[in-house]
Amino acid sequence: MELEFKNLSKKEYDVTLIAPISLKLKPGIFNTILGPTLSGKTTLLRLMAGLDKPTSGEIWHKNINVTNIPVQKRNVAMVYQQFINYPSMTVFENIASPLRVKRIPENEIKLRVQKVAELLKISPLLKRRPSELSGGQQQRTAIARALTKEAELVLLDEPLANLDYKLREELREELPRLFEETGATVVYTTTEPAEALLLGGYSATLHEGRITQFGPTQSVYKDPKSLIAAKTFSDPPLNTVKVEKKSEGIYLDGGVHWKTTKYLKVPNGDYILGFRAHHLKLSLTKADDLKLSGKVLVTELSGSESFVHLQSNENNWVVHAHGIYNFQQDEKIEMYLSLSNCYIFDAEGIRVYDE
Amino acid sequence: MAEVRLQHIRHSYNANAGEKTEYALQKIDMVWEDGGAYALLGPSGCGKSTLLNIVSGLLHPTEGNVLFNNEDVTSTTTDQRNIAQIFQFPVVYDTMSVHDNLAFPLRNRKMGHAEIEHRVNTVAEMLDLTELLDQRASGLSADGKQKISLGRGLVRSDVNIMMFDEPLTVIDPHLKWQLRTKLKQLHRQVGFTMVYVTHDQIEALTFAEKVAVMFEGEVVQFGTPEELFLKPNHTFVGHFIGSPGMNFLPCELDSGFPVFAGNQIKLAAPITKLNSYKKIELGVRPEFVKLDTKGFPVNITRIDDVGRYRIVKAECSGHNFNVYVPEDIEIPSENLRLSFDPLYTHVYCDGWLHDERKSA
């Protein structure tokens, strides 16, 4: 029951909104599309749903071309960032609405609504109207409706973005499990790397209407194939610095360098080194760590962690450290970086490997 | 700039409120020192916006007083209080240039041309808006517009307090970092008293020197980010701060130490004085639970890999809890045992932290 997108693209007035995308999504697996606002997430979801017609490309479902089948006839459910429910209906009727359309018998409707309400912990609210619910409860109702529809494709467009931090945490944990059981193909969009990691499954990084990488979430995170994919999947932002690769090692500006035989087969020349904020350490962890220095711009403490924003030569970096480091503005600090925690990209932003 | 003092503030939207539950704010006593950076943190409905509106003068509290520099302003109007407020959605005059947006509050105050130019340029410089001064505000992105809202407060010298109501909600994660850092630097530069209202713990904790955690109309703790993390005063603070929050386990007391599922748990000091209570719980953050060959046995039910660290979901006698395991530490596949760091393991009685010094 694979869902396949073949060269799907969307243009409007010569502006490319979605560059040709080819993806195969497996059923029962959570797929996350990770990208900043305006990267094309919603446009892509609308194409997947069949709400908008693609400029080119095809959508295949269970080996049938469904590109020209209208959305009403496809078994698709969508949940939006803004909670959308029927305001005049009770929570029960909201959840039951797709079943009524399908003319399911009354007693079965009752059973299915109750089961889904139970899963989403809104059973006591079934008689209320949406206006009498909190934001989290309204979104649970919308999700319950998507679940009860038993759609084969469920599209969730930043469904937790308008919820409180803690509610988000709770629902984020429940969502993959809820949909896993239904066997539906789920596509979920988010702007937050941490959310993609917590949801697990597969992830695609989206940048200016292009999918830059797709695969199991952990491997996209740990093994980004390009600078853009690495940047999209880093929060705090990816730290970068220009480096020169020579035969005897890798040199940063200012002459500090790793003496290394790694990347031996990579041609000498200019590259970009990228590393995540938590890999820039405030103490030595490995003997061959490179010692760097910088000037503190501002320190943010979160109670258990520190975000140290600093300037090292011409580069602005962030250190994300566990523990409290209350550095003062303009304080000089030393940092340590292991080459094994770094990614190297060529001038085009394509990752080069040590092989 | 001002010191803000909130004295016995209570508020109900119901004029004839009698029941405690009818009060959106139960009883608030707090002092915001002149030039400090503060945050009000809590879930929707906790009363943080009500409190903000009382400070800004949009609401008159049912009981209590608001003092600016020891002067009672409870009955004054919003414009008499000289407050700069930045909202969730940027408020800009779309048809005006960035420059005129920034100059607007000063022109209203009939300030001289030269002085206006000087201030607008200084503030534009601080906010990296210099290049955009001649552009129309309508063409700017969300973060650019939010900088203008901020700038209109910064140009004024008569601001008593600057208040932010969820200012980063509409900003992209990557830009959030920049704007948040900027805000922090600006606070240092201008020294205004600033109050930041949010439900996002990271924003509150990183911005503020002291955070008031609000729950059901009460401030359950007013402390530094470190205090809120290391020693939550209430189970709500433990739960709300941290991601995931603090673990709470039911326990009994035996010779001054809590016993959980037959295992005696060590504390920094034994409990000798205890008030009467209904419910007693052990609280320990996932960060202070350690994989330990000498600890008590648990089953792993799930491991979430967040990249930088993993969250191990462990189970013991039907109770679930989270364990924080850094990237470079291996998780044994069987015979997992855990221990709690005694320094940061606390006992909660009916929701409140048991404090030996304060107890009867």
Q: Is A247 in the same domain as A210?
A: no
Q: Is A227 in the same domain as A256?
A: no
If one counts the domains in chain A, the total is: 2
Domain boundary among the residues B166, B201, B230 is at B230
**Which of A192, A218, A320 lies closest to B305 in CB terms?**
A218
Domain boundary among the residues A175, A203, A232 is at A232
**Which of B172, B228, B239 lies closest to A37 in CB terms?**
B172
Residue A306: phi, psi to the nearest 5?
-125, 140
Residues B181, A135: C-beta atoms closer than 8 Å: no
What was the pLDDT predicted at A333? 96
Q: Is A158 in the same domain as A247?
A: no
- Domain for residue B315, yes or no? yes
What was the pLDDT predicted at B18? 67
pLDDT tens by residue, B269-280: 888 877 778 899
Q: Is B249 in the same domain as B106?
A: no
What was the pLDDT predicted at A301? 86
- The C-alpha atoms of residue B255 and residue B278 are separated, in whole angstroms, by 19
pLDDT tens by residue, A156-166: 999 988 788 88
**Which of A198, A302, A320 lies closest to B304 in CB terms?**
A198
Confidence of residue B215 (pLDDT cuts 50, 70, 90): very high
Q: Is B130 in the same domain as B249?
A: no
Average pLDDT of chain A, as a whole number: 91
Tell whether the model's pLDDT for residue A188 goes beyond 60. Answer: yes
What was the pLDDT predicted at A238? 96
Please report, for residues B249, B261, B281, the alpha-carbon distance to residue B290 in angstroms, rounded to integers and kept in the order given.
16, 17, 19
Query: What is the distance in angstroms between the Cα of A243 and the nearest Cα belonging to chain B?
Result: 24
Confidence of residue A83 (pLDDT cuts 50, 70, 90): confident
CATH of the domain at B327: 2.40.50.140
Strands of the A15-25 sheet, one edge to the other: A15-25, A3-12, A56-61, A64-65
What was the pLDDT predicted at B8? 96
Interface residues on B facing A, Cβ-Cβ cutoff 8 A: 43-45, 172-174, 177, 180-181, 184-185, 188, 199-202, 205-207, 225-226, 228-230, 239-245, 285, 287, 304-308, 326-327
Confidence of residue A254 (pLDDT cuts 50, 70, 90): confident
What was the pLDDT predicted at A1? 55
- The C-alpha atoms of residue B157 and residue B334 are separated, in whole angstroms, by 64
Q: Is A201 in the same domain as A301?
A: no
Domain that holds residue B299: 245-353
What was the pLDDT predicted at A190? 95
As a whole number, mean pLDDT of residues A104-114 equals: 93
What was the pLDDT predicted at A289? 92
The amino acid at B95: T
If one counts the domains in chain B, the total is: 2
Q: Is A244 in the same domain as A335?
A: yes
Q: Is A224 in the same domain as A247?
A: no
What's the N-to-C CA distance of chain B in angstroms? 41
Q: Which of A132, A195, A279, A302 to mutate to test the interface with B (most CBs of B within 10 A)?
A: A302
Strands A290-301 and A332-337 turn out to be antiparallel
Tell whether the model's pLDDT for residue B16 goes beyond 80. Answer: no
Q: Is B226 in the same domain as B249?
A: no
Which position has the higher pLDDT, B172 or B296? B296
**Which of A236, A237, A303 lies closest to B229 in CB terms?**
A303
Query: What is the distance in angstroms between the Cα of A150 and the nearest Cα belonging to chain B?
Result: 27
ipTM of the complex: 0.81
CATH of the domain at A43: 3.40.50.300
Residues B304, A303: C-beta atoms closer than 8 Å: no
What was the pLDDT predicted at B182? 86
Which residues of chain A does B230 touch, with a Cβ-Cβ cutoff of 8 Å? 303
Q: Is A193 in the same domain as A283?
A: no
Strands B4-11 and A305-312 turn out to be unpaired
- Domain for residue B358, yes or no? no
Interface residues on A facing B, Cβ-Cβ cutoff 8 A: 36-37, 134-135, 164-167, 169, 191-194, 197-198, 200, 218, 221-222, 235-237, 276, 278, 297-298, 300-304, 307, 309, 318, 320, 322, 324, 329
Q: Is A206 in the same domain as A79?
A: yes
Residues B205, A192: C-beta atoms closer than 8 Å: no
Q: Is residue B58 within 8 Å of residue B8, measured between CB atoms? A: no
Please report, rounded to a whole number, the percentage of residues in chain B having pLDDT higher than 70: 98
Residues A164, B44: C-beta atoms closer than 8 Å: yes
DSSP symbols for A47-66:
HHHTSS--SEEEEEETTEE-
Which residues of chain B does A236 touch, with a Cβ-Cβ cutoff of 8 Å? 177
What was the pLDDT predicted at B277? 80
Q: Is B130 in the same domain as B278?
A: no
What number of C-beta contacts closer than 8 Å exist between A and B?
A: 87
- Domain for residue B359, yes or no? no
Q: Is B252 in the same domain as B224?
A: no
The amino acid at A311: Q
Please report, rounded to a whole number, the percentage of residues in chain A having pLDDT higher than 90: 58
Q: Is B133 in the same domain as B217?
A: yes
- Domain for residue B343, yes or no? yes
Q: Is B202 in the same domain as B259?
A: no
- The C-alpha atoms of residue B51 and residue A341 are separated, in whole angstroms, by 46
Judging by beta carbons within 10 Å of its beta carbon (0-12, 13-18, 19+), is residue A265 exposed, middle or buried?
Answer: exposed
Q: Is B196 in the same domain as B317?
A: no
- The C-alpha atoms of residue B224 and residue B241 are separated, in whole angstroms, by 12
- The C-alpha atoms of residue A47 and residue A14 are separated, in whole angstroms, by 17
Residues A166, B43: C-beta atoms closer than 8 Å: yes
- Domain for residue B129, yes or no? yes
Domain boundary among the residues B230, B255, B272 is at B230
pLDDT tens by residue, B88-140: 888 899 999 999 999 999 999 899 999 999 999 999 998 989 999 999 999 88
Tell whether the model's pLDDT for residue B287 goes beyond 90. Answer: yes
What was the pLDDT predicted at A267? 94
What was the pLDDT predicted at B223? 96
What was the pLDDT predicted at B17? 64
pLDDT tens by residue, A12-56: 888 889 999 999 988 888 999 999 888 999 999 999 888 899 999
CATH of the domain at B174: 3.40.50.300
Tell whether the model's pLDDT for residue B184 goes beyond 60. Answer: yes
Tell whether the model's pLDDT for residue B20 goes beyond 70. Answer: no
Q: Is A211 in the same domain as A286?
A: no
- The C-alpha atoms of residue A115 and residue A144 are separated, in whole angstroms, by 10
Domain boundary among the residues A213, A232, A251 is at A232
Q: Is A111 in the same domain as A256?
A: no
What was the pLDDT predicted at A261? 84
Q: Is B137 in the same domain as B185?
A: yes
Strands of the B25-32 sheet, one edge to the other: B25-32, B4-11, B63-68, B71-72
As a whole number, mean pLDDT of residues A115-136 equals: 87
Which residues of chain A does B225 touch, with a Cβ-Cβ cutoff of 8 Å? 301-303
CATH of the domain at A329: 2.40.50.140
- Domain for residue B265, yes or no? yes
Which residues of chain B does A298 touch, with a Cβ-Cβ cutoff of 8 Å? 181, 184-185, 188
- Domain for residue B235, yes or no? no
Q: Is A217 in the same domain as A249?
A: no
Q: Is residue B23 within 8 Å of residue B17, measured between CB atoms? A: yes
Residues B229, A135: C-beta atoms closer than 8 Å: no
Which residues of chain B does A276 touch, with a Cβ-Cβ cutoff of 8 Å? 307-308
Residues B181, A322: C-beta atoms closer than 8 Å: no
- The C-alpha atoms of residue A255 and residue A247 are separated, in whole angstroms, by 15
Please report, for residues A46, A138, A279, B131, B173, the alpha-carbon distance to residue A163 in angstroms, rounded to integers and kept in the order given.
22, 10, 31, 36, 16
Q: Is A179 in the same domain as A268?
A: no
DSSP A88: T
Q: Is B105 in the same domain as B155?
A: yes
Residue of A nearest to B187 (CA): A298
Q: Is B224 in the same domain as B253?
A: no
pLDDT tens by residue, A263-319: 989 999 999 999 999 999 999 888 889 999 999 999 988 878 899 999 999 899 999
Q: Which residues contact B83 (CB under 8 A, 6 or more apart)?
A: B55, B56, B57, B159, B160, B161, B162, B163
Residues A169, B243: C-beta atoms closer than 8 Å: yes
Domain boundary among the residues B168, B195, B230 is at B230
Domain boundary among the residues A232, A257, A285 is at A232
Q: Is B136 in the same domain as B180?
A: yes
Helix (H, G, I), strand (E, B) or coil at A13: coil
Residues B181, A297: C-beta atoms closer than 8 Å: yes
Residues A221, B307: C-beta atoms closer than 8 Å: yes
Axis-axis angle for helices B173-190, B142-154 (nearest 10)? 10
- Domain for residue B320, yes or no? yes
What was the pLDDT predicted at A355? 77
Domain that holds residue A34: 3-232
Which residues of chain B does A160 touch, with a Cβ-Cβ cutoff of 8 Å? none
